């Protein structure tokens, strides 16, 4: 796939692929997520999550096999994007109710620096903000790093890598709000106005989140740790 035609925003290492999966695939995945035993959910104050593939520790992943429904979708992500050096071995499922979000953060150094996020359920807006260190490092250049935002619609795949991912460059997060301003989004997702105007309040151009959003954050952890059993 020619990824360059999916670049969005002002950071050239963020890609947005609309309709990456069909409506039937979305329902299937949502069904699988919602069929997990309640003990699989970890509840945080502003979202809840399921961890698949094993526990990521500072010195690597203690691996557990992914279930077949996740292998299928992660293989598709890997083969279509061609960005992962090995099969994706870790998936975080996040669920955000209206008004929930995830604060601006950077993913840890344990992951290979490409992340693919599949969105299900309600739409939302993800923000990217340059890290202070990046602003400092480039302050003498003509083109200063800028904030950018990307609307994430159900069925879409967001990919970010390199500059948008690296520990020192950009932070990403989702506001804890039911209403996301469209100001940035209209500039970044070219076809949004045409195909998805029903998501917008016609007067205010606000993106409303009225239902739960579920995301699958798919990554590859290169370093594996084994559980040693002492004899
Ligand atoms: O839910 C999302 O779209 C983002 C999740 C995320 O950034 C993370 O799990 O590190
Ligand atoms: Fe993240």
pLDDT, tens digit, 9 for 90 and up, residues 135-184: 887 777 777 777 777 888 899 999 998 766 655 688 999 999 888 765 44
DSSP string, 14-56: EEEETTSS-HHHHHHHHHHHHHS-GGGEEE-SS-EEEEESEEE
pLDDT at res. 128:
85
Give distance in angstroms: CA of 229 to centre of ligand 1.
34
pLDDT tier, 191 (very low <50, low <70, confident <90, very high otherwise): very low
Among protein residues, the one whose CA lies closest to atom 2 of ligand 1: 215
Query: How large is the average pLDDT for residues 14-20?
Result: 90
Residue 108 resides in a domain: yes
Residue 204 resides in a domain: yes
Residue 46 resides in a domain: yes
Residue 110 resides in a domain: yes
Residue numbers of the domain that contains 214 = 3-219
Among protein residues, the one whose CA lies closest to atom 1 of ligand 1: 215
List all residues whose CB is within 6 A of at least one atom of ligand 1. 92, 94, 102, 107, 117, 126, 172, 215, 217
Count of the separate structural domains present in the chain:
1
Ligand nearest to the Cα of 218, by number: 1
The share of the chain scoring above pLDDT 90, in percent, equals: 53
pLDDT at res. 169:
82
Residue 210 resides in a domain: yes
Query: How large is the average pLDDT for residues 103-132?
Result: 91
Residue 227 resides in a domain: no
pLDDT at res. 70:
98
pLDDT at res. 58:
82
Q: What share of the chain is helix, strand, coil (3-state, %, to 5)?
A: 25, 35, 45
Q: What is the CATH number of the domain that holds 18?
A: 2.60.120.590
Average pLDDT, the chain: 85
Do 93 and 204 touch, CB atoms closer than 8 A?
Answer: no
The position carrying tokens 């309709």 is: 19
Give distance in angstroms: CA of 26 to centre of ligand 2.
21
The reply to whether ipTM tops 0.90 is: yes
Residue 42 resides in a domain: yes
Residue 230 resides in a domain: no
Q: What is the gyration radius of the CA atoms in the chain, in angstroms?
A: 18
**Which H or E run includes 216?**
strand 213-219
Q: Which atom of ligand 1 is nearest to the CA of 173?
A: 7
**Which H or E run includes 149?**
strand 148-152
Which of 174, 180, 216, 219 has most ligand 1 atoms within 8 Å of CB, for mutation? 174
């Amino acid at each position: 796939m020619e990824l360059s035609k999916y670049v969005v925003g002002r950071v050239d290492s963020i890609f947005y692929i609309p309709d990456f999966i069909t409506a039937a695939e979305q329902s299937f995945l949502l069904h699988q997520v919602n069929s997990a035993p309640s003990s699989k959910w970890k509840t945080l104050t502003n979202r809840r999550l399921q961890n698949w593939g094993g526990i990521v520790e500072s010195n690597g992943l203690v691996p557990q096999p992914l279930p077949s429904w996740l292998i299928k979708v992660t293989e598709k992500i890997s083969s279509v994007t061609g960005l992962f050096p090995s099969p994706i071995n870790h998936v975080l499922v996040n669920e955000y109710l209206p008004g929930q979000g995830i604060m601006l953060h950077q993913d840890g150094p344990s992951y290979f620096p490409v992340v693919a996020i599949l969105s299900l359920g309600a739409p939302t807006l993800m923000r990217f903000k340059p890290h202070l260190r990046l602003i400092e490092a480039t302050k003498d250049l003509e083109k200063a790093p800028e904030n950018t935002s990307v609307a994430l619609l159900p069925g879409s795949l967001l990919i970010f890598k390199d500059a948008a991912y690296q520990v020192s460059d950009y932070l990403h997060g989702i506001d804890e709000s039911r209403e996301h301003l469209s100001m940035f989004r209209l500039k970044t997702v070219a076809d949004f106005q045409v195909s998805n105007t029903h998501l917008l309040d016609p007067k205010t151009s606000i993106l409303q989140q009225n239902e739960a959003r579920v995301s699958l954050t798919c990554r590859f952890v290169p370093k594996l740790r084994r559980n040693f059993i002492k004899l």
